[in-house]
Amino acid sequence: MKNVVVVGSQWGDEGKGKIVDWLSSEADVVVRFQGGHNAGHTLVIDGKTYKLRLLPSGIVRKNKISIIGNGVVVDPWALIDEIDEIKNKGVHIDENNLFLSEAATLILPIHSELDALREDSTKNPKIGTTRRGIGPAYEDKVGRRSIRVIDLLSEDNLDAKLATLLEHHNYLRKGMGEKEYSKNKLKDKLLKIAPKILKYSRPIWKKIDEFKKANKKILFEGAQGILLDVDHGTYPFVTSSNTVASSAATGSGCGINTINYILGITKAYTTRVGEGPFPTELKNEIGEKLGERGKEFGTVTSRKRRCGWFDGVLVKQTIKTSGITGIALTKLDVLDEFDEIKICIAYDLDGKQIEYLPAASEQQFKVKPIYKSFKGWNSSTCGIKSFSDLPSEAQNYIKFIEEFVEAKLSTISTSPERKDTILIEDPFGP
């Protein structure tokens, strides 16, 4: 019996929703372990579309346990809105199938306001945040002043915690020329929503240990992509959490020996939302064609994604930093109408060839891709369910990716439909 972690091997938007949905049909427990409501998964099940932001993908399936771990930052109002939205689509959600870590940090209105103030400041470079307060909430967590789910149990405790929090934030707001935030106003809002949130609260580490002992299949669902990891991504144009697979353990309270297989979701080309370096970006008609064919718009923000050729250097790097066991290649069918397709196999940095992305942001913007070209297949791969049925040119393209990034191919997705998946290796095992 294997427990599986799913992570994005690029900048997010790799098509994790479909793969996680497919895996969650096998899993007993699905766990979100990092991020917040800034990243989303779109699931299409029996003709119904579900857009999830905080809720794990298992929530839309019967007889599954869904867990929001301590590594997630939770906007309580956004969570309740999302629960109501999904309930209205006929999905049953209660405290028996949804657990929320009592140690999870809460995102408050003051966090989203600070996020927007910083992003709009002319003094700072734009990071391209979603303005949902994710970063400021993680800052308070690390600064040991955050409000956590468990703090909603006691009004006196909450009052004291808010005083500490607002002492810090009101200094910041004063420096930005903003009014001080009212403690009583914020406390009243939290006390009002507390009963709706606390009914889902659990010691998650303990629940996961129980599931392990019961030999349940656990799926750990990552959000965003490894290249947005705060340590290993294109810093500072990153998210505020660790998106690598090892954070599944810290973000849920289980040992790393709980993880048996790491699946890296990998798009057959490359996309990025927001600011930051993107070596293979195509600011031309090819990039536009990739975006149109791939319907490249964000699930949460609807922002248009930047598009480019597959960057093998970056994917090889993320496979190393996250310990990826196998890759699920998605959106292969988007490449069906290209005469020539390219893969970045190295970079040119000031006339020197390098085979990794340097850590310095200024160098990340300067590197130029060195490509290997492949003949396109100019025929439809949409819906193909066997590797041998793919055009020979598509097979060559896929085999090269597998060899170059040094990771086994697990699955190939040939359309947004769940059934259109070529299974080569089941991450949960035979």
Q: Is 13 a catalytic residue?
A: yes
Q: Please, what is the Cα angle at 285 between 280 and 289, to 5 degrees?
A: 85
Question: Mind spelling out the 3-state secondary structure of 174-197?
Answer: HHCCCCCCCHHHHHHHHHHHHHHH
Residue with tokens 């106003």: 185
Query: What's the chain's length in residues?
Result: 430
Residue 153 is encoded by which pair of tokens?
A: 């149990």
Q: How far is CA 151 from CA 37, 72, 106, 157, 187, in A?
A: 21, 16, 10, 7, 11
- How far is the C-alpha of 356 from the C-alpha of 262, rounded, in Å? 22
- Give the residues across from 297 on adjacent strands: 304
- Residues 343 and 401: their CA atoms lie apart, in Å, by 8
DSSP string, 389-407: GS-HHHHHHHHHHHHHHT-
Most distant CA pair in the chain, distance: 68
252, with CB counted inside 10 A (0-12, 13-18, 19+), is buried
Q: CA 268, CA 290: separation in Å to the nearest integer? A: 11
Tokens standing for residue 26:
């096998």
Q: Is 41 a catalytic residue?
A: yes
Catalytically annotated residue among 21, 28, 37, 41? 41
Q: What dihedral do alpha carbons 202, 204, 209, 211 form, nearest 10°?
A: 70
Question: Hey, is 220 helix, strand or coil?
Answer: strand
Active site residues: 13, 41
